[in-house]
Amino acid sequence: MKLLTINPGSTSTKIAVFEDDNLIFKKTLQHDIDALKQYHVVTEQFEFRKKAILDVLKEVGYNVNEFNAIVGRGGFVRPISSGVFAINDKMKGDLLSCRYGEHASNLGALIADDIAKTIPNCRALIADPVVVDEMQDVARIAGHPLFNRTAASHALNQKAIAKRYAKDIGKPYNELNLIVTHLGGGISVGAHKQGKVIDGNNAIEGEGPFSPERSGGLTAMQVAKLCFSGKYTFAQVKKMMVGEGGLVAYLGTNNIQIVEEEMIPAGNQKAIEIHEAMAYNVAKEIGAMATVLEGKVDAILLTGGIAFNPLIVDSITRKVGFLAPVKVYPGEDEMGALAGNGLAALRGEVEINTY
């Protein structure tokens, strides 16, 4: 089986080619920011990004007609369960209209489907998009009827790491209670109860701990006062919360490695304080998810790019280690997770769902 995986980001598109379980080609296509600025909405970048993908595949000698499946990163579709979904017209309509949100990942399914249409017997699929929703009903109640809590997390990597841990210990994922924490530009913490993520912070909309680029859960009344101060537009406030919050706002960098290897060793007290505060906030969120699982936690898993950095991992581990064993899986293998889901679907090991 040969699969192509596509993962569009804000200024790049990651692609990878797999033969069965083996990664045989991987590349990150960096897009010129000025070139992207000409597009008013992200879906207008469709032809631009598709051409970049096909050009690279041709350049390295891949014949697209050999692919059995194209698996795209799932974008902002309606809230759905985890798993593999066939890309259909209804899904494409929701992504093109940005009905549930605008994000570069919306292009994953659109490009995958367009390429697959030209290949005989090739499947176009997505797997575990950011809007995977398995939340229990009580977790949806926000505190006021005009508001509701929704699911939006690093579902693809969280699910992949949870299943990897289950495989490592020789137990089924759907028999374990796990707290999975994705530590990246955004930070999401999910309570996985017997195969379902029954609660977690909405990292896309600002819930939970602050991160390298996001402000996290700010005090509601302070946010309300800021919004009505007349000093800021909605776009400016949004940028404070997503993109220019967290470490960027406090320390002027989103690179935790710089904080740990340069600022802290140099005795930068502000860096020491903010670094500890981020670990503190992550640990608090993990503790909250432990209550969701009623204290029955088999393991706490730390993953994502920040998990490569020992100081913050050690700080979080010290704070939550009493709850359950902590296992660290640094980095994120979203391309492998997409391919693994697609391969399982082609082999008939998992169901291909209809959107």
Class of domain 155-330: alpha beta
> Pairing relation of β-strands 22-30 and 12-19?
antiparallel
Residue 243: pLDDT band (50, 70, 90) is confident
Q: What is the pLDDT of residues 83-93, one digit of tens each?
A: 999 999 999 99
Residue 101: pLDDT band (50, 70, 90) is confident
* Mean pLDDT lowest among 11-15, 31-35, 106-110, 291-295: 31-35
Q: Is the pLDDT of residue 10 over 80?
A: no
Q: Is the pLDDT of residue 177 over 80?
A: yes
What pLDDT is stored for residue 197 in this prediction? 96
Buried b (16+ CB within 10 A) or exposed e, 81-108: ebbbbbbeeebbebbeeeebbebbbbbb
Taking residues 60-64, report their average pLDDT.
92
The C-alpha atoms of residue 205 and residue 209 are separated, in whole angstroms, by 12
Q: Is the pLDDT of residue 70 over 80?
A: yes
The domains spanning 2-134+334-354 and 155-330 adopt the same CATH topology? yes
Rounded CA Rg of the chain:
20
What pLDDT is stored for residue 2 in this prediction? 96
Query: CATH code for 2-134+334-354?
Result: 3.30.420.40
Q: What are the structural domain ranges in the chain? A: 2-134+334-354, 155-330
What pLDDT is stored for residue 134 in this prediction? 94
Q: What is the pLDDT of residues 251-273, one digit of tens each?
A: 999 999 999 999 999 999 999 99
Taking residues 199-203, report their average pLDDT.
93
Count of CA atoms in the C-beta half-sphere (13 A) of 54 = 14
Per the listing, tokens 């660290």 go with 328
Q: Is the pLDDT of residue 81 over 80?
A: yes
Q: What is the pTM of this model?
A: 0.87
Q: Is the pLDDT of residue 181 over 90?
A: yes
Taking residues 198-212, report their average pLDDT.
92
For residue 72 the two structure tokens come to 């795209």
What pLDDT is stored for residue 109 in this prediction? 96
User: Which of 171, 165, 173 minimizes the C-alpha distance to 193?
Assistant: 173
Q: Is the pLDDT of residue 203 over 90?
A: no
Q: What is the pLDDT of residues 305-333, one digit of tens each?
A: 999 999 999 999 999 999 999 999 998 88
Taking residues 19-37, report their average pLDDT.
90
292 or 213: which leads in pLDDT: 292
Mean pLDDT over the full length of the chain? 94
